[in-house]
Amino acid sequence: MTTVPALADLNFVVIPLLSTSHLIPLTDMAKLLAQQGVTVTLVTTPLNAARFTAAIDRAIRSGLVIRVVELQFRAKEAGLPEGCENHNDVPGLKYRRQFFAAIDMLQEQAEKLFEEMKPKPSCIISDAYVAWTAETADKFQIPRIVFDGMSCFTQMCMHSLYIMRDQNKIPESGPFVIPDLPDRIEVTKAQLPPHFNPARAIFIQDIREKIRTAQNRAYGVVINTFEELEQRYVDKFQKLKNGRVWCIGPLSLCNNDDLDKAQRGNKSTFDKEDSLTKWLDSWQPESVVFACFGSLGRMTVVQFVELALGLEASGYPFILVIKAGEGQTPIEGWISENGFEERTKERGLLIRDWTPQVLILSHPAIGGFLTHCGWNSTVEGISAGVPMITWPLFAEQFLNERFLVHVLNIAAGVGSQAIVHLGEEEKFEVQVTNKAVTDAIEKVMDKEKEGNEMRKRARELGEMAKRAVEGDGSSYLNVTLLIKEIQDFQLNQSAKNANAQACDVLV
Ligand code: UDP
């Protein structure tokens, strides 16, 4: 007789892409699953594990069963510089092909571990960009649930766009409406992700197609969203995926205390979170603009100048995050030559490299979030109940912008017109003027007119997000349902195996 496996005997193997903005939500997801009593095995590499050790160790000390297993990342063998283990560290992004080759090399090691794992793996929660997990799931006869970091809205946009692309129907220029969506969403080809608007410098279209094929044959999908946020799109996506979509976000809300929020992702260069909080405490509620462009967003110096001057001219206090690394020297040169930092020091705070974004967004002084519209940032802004100023840069960020501005009505755009593909930043001159930046900030921060409406809606959505992850909320329930699905799968599998054995005995 087969019995229902106990929760702790279910082992959810979580395999993130080695990229900061994928590791962050999947680490949150590991905690979320473990909070409901299952065993979670997080598979990564030594340098990436170091990024979230503190947070995971705290979760383990609190009683969660999370195991971190480290695979050796063979950077040199794949043609990458030694020590380059994270997509964000790939120099100039010109080594992306090598990076994905190194990701493929993890398969053999991972499968050896799978054989020895106790409890036996029950399912793989795989980053969609780690395509080999499809074969591994087949070999071990377990379900593979994919996570690609996008919303249901964007999934449905992409679905329609693939159909258009395959029929050669995406116009080369000019705006067009994405078909078969509940809302009228207008875009241009130049604003679309590389799947439909390929970058010239970094040609990895074949890798993208391999990922897509593996993604399409996954058992199911987990989404960092909550149903109430985009119900019509969730329903459509559920239909497309035969009901195997679990909306379990906002994932960032599993970080309840300030230390968890502060240590999410990389270590902040801000030495004392305390002084940051003190700075924020010194401002009126909802008065500060927080400008941050994710883990990968880079600007040319000319575009940065417009951003900085636009923030300054708005007159609002602000935090501006400046990414360190390649190409940033001219920006630092301009800041000191122009005297920008000195001139705005009474109400502007420049943070170099990494900032504790979720901690900052949760502070009552934050009144607007100037974002590049990466989906993590978008959903974090929504969770914080903050209206947004949108400046999409690359990937599917223009679609996320459309969602914020045209579906949710909680944001105003700075008017960027085209994708700046990663690694091609220098090809683009100024797209957005400082006046456009100031105008969008004023529209959102204005407490009287349109801004007031946006703020009210944003606050309501923030409350809905928090309710979704509570004990009787939709996302909490969806985690339970996902676990139940895996439990049932395992039970059926054991029953099938028992039957097969019984037949073997009979013949
Ligand atoms: N992030 C952060 N501090 C930073 C920059 C980014 O904490 O200084 C986090 C942010 O909270 C989010 C992630 O990094 O969780 C960025 O993901 P997103 O999808 O928004 O953008 P991407 O990095 O993929 O462009």
Q: Let me know if residue 322 belongs to a domain.
A: yes
- Is the residue at 263 inside a domain? no
13 and 59 share one domain = yes
Tell me, letter by letter, the H, E, C secondary structure of 189-230: HHHCCCCCCCCCCCCCHHHHHHHHHHHHCCCEEEECCCHHHC
Task: Check residue 203 and give its pLDDT.
Answer: 57
Beta bridge partners of 92: none
* Same-domain check for residues 278 and 410: yes
Q: Is residue 115 part of a domain?
A: yes
User: Are 316 and 388 within one domain?
Assistant: yes
CA 41 from centroid of its chain's CA atoms: 20
Beta bridge partners of 223: 247
- Let me know if residue 152 belongs to a domain: no
> Looking at ligand 1, which residue's alpha carbon is closest to its atom 11?
357
The pLDDT of residue 466:
98
The SS3 of residue 79 is coil
Q: What is the side-by-side strand order in the sheet with 388-390?
A: 348-352, 318-322, 288-292, 366-371, 388-390, 411-413
Task: Give the separation between CA 117 and CA 101, rounded to whole angstroms.
Answer: 25
Pairing of strands 176-177, 186-187: antiparallel
Tell me, in angstroms, the distance from the centre of ligand 1 to residue 498's CA.
47
Within this chain, do residues 375 and 502 fall inside the same structural domain, yes or no? no
Ligand 1 atom at shortest distance from the alpha carbon of 297: 25
Residues with CB under 6 A from ligand 1: 20-21, 24, 264-265, 292, 294-297, 321, 354-358, 374-377, 380
What's the confidence (pLDDT) of residue 442?
A: 97
User: Of all protein residues, whose CA lies closest to atom 2 belonging to ligand 1?
Assistant: 357
In a domain, 88, yes or no: yes
Assess whether 484 and 401 both reside in one domain.
Answer: no
Q: Ligand 1 center to residue 24 CA distance, Å?
A: 8
Hey, which residues does 221 pair with through a beta bridge? 146, 245
Site to probe by mutation for ligand 1, drawn from 18, 20, 21, 378 as the one with most ligand atoms within 8 Å of Cβ, is: 21
pLDDT, tens only, 338-397: 999 999 999 999 998 889 999 999 999 999 999 999 999 999 999 999 999 999 999 999
Structure tokens at 390: 């949108």
pLDDT of 273: 57
Residue 68 main-chain phi, psi, to 5 deg: -105, 120
Calculate how far, in angstroms, residue 296's C-alpha sits from the geometric centre of ligand 1: 8
- Residue range(s) defining the domain that contains residue 372: 272-467
Residues in the chain: 507
Mutate to test the pocket of ligand 1, among 252, 267, 295, 298 (most ligand atoms within 8 A of CB): 295
476-485 long-range contacts (CB < 8 A, ≥24 apart) are 478/227, 478/246, 478/247, 478/248, 479/32, 479/33, 479/36, 479/246, 479/248, 480/36, 481/246, 482/145, 482/220, 482/222, 482/246, 482/248, 483/7, 483/10, 483/33, 483/36, 483/38, 485/143, 485/220, 485/244
Whether residues 463 and 475 share a domain: the answer is no
Ligand 1, atom nearest to 393 Cα: 25
Encoded tokens for 285: 């509620």
Please state the atom number of ligand 1 nearest to the C-alpha of residue 395. Answer: 25
- Of 431, 440, 444, 437, the C-alpha closest to 386 is 444
Q: Is residue 350 part of a domain?
A: yes
Shared-domain flag, residues 358 and 484: no
Domain count, the chain: 2
Centre of ligand 1 from the C-alpha of residue 377, in Å? 6
For atom 15 of ligand 1, the residue with the nearest CA is 376
Q: Which atom of ligand 1 is nearest to the CA of 375?
A: 19
Nearest CA owner, ligand 1 atom 3: 355
CA 217–ligand 1 middle distance (angstroms): 28
Beta-bridge mates of residue 14: 42, 125
Return the CATH number at 338.
3.40.50.2000
Residues 299, 277: one domain? yes
Q: Which atom of ligand 1 is nearest to the CA of 394?
A: 25
Catalytic annotation, residues: 22, 127
Residues 419 and 493 in one domain: no
Residue 319, domain member (yes or no): yes
Residue 141: Cβ-neighbour burial (10 angstroms; 0-12, 13-18, 19+): exposed
pLDDT digit string (tens) for the chain, length 507 residues: 678 889 999 999 999 999 999 999 999 999 999 999 999 999 999 999 998 888 899 999 999 999 999 999 999 999 998 889 999 888 766 788 899 999 999 999 999 999 999 999 999 999 999 999 999 999 999 999 999 999 999 999 999 999 999 999 999 999 999 999 999 999 999 999 988 987 654 557 788 889 999 999 999 999 999 999 999 999 999 999 999 999 999 999 999 888 888 888 876 655 555 789 999 999 999 999 999 999 988 888 999 999 999 999 999 999 999 987 766 889 999 999 999 999 999 999 999 888 999 999 999 999 999 999 999 999 999 999 999 999 999 999 999 999 999 999 999 999 999 998 777 776 667 789 999 999 999 999 998 889 999 999 999 999 999 999 999 999 999 999 999 999 999 999 888 888 887 776 665
Which pLDDT score is estimated for 92?
A: 67
Question: What is the DSSP code (8-state) at residue 176?
Answer: E
Q: Are residues 431 and 485 in the same domain?
A: no
Q: 376 and 327 in one domain?
A: yes
Angle made by CA atoms 426, 428, 431, in degrees to the nearest 5: 140
- Phi, psi angles (nearest 5°) of residue 341: -65, -45
Q: How far does residue 8's CA lie from ligand 1's centre (Å)?
A: 32
Closest Cα to atom 23 of ligand 1: 295
pLDDT tens column, 227-261: 999 999 999 999 999 999 999 999 999 998 888 88
DSSP summary character for residue 12: E
Tell me whether residue 141 is in a domain: yes
Please check whether residues 55 and 142 belong to one and the same domain: yes
The candidate with the shortest Cα–Cα distance to 391, out of 410, 371, 411, is 371
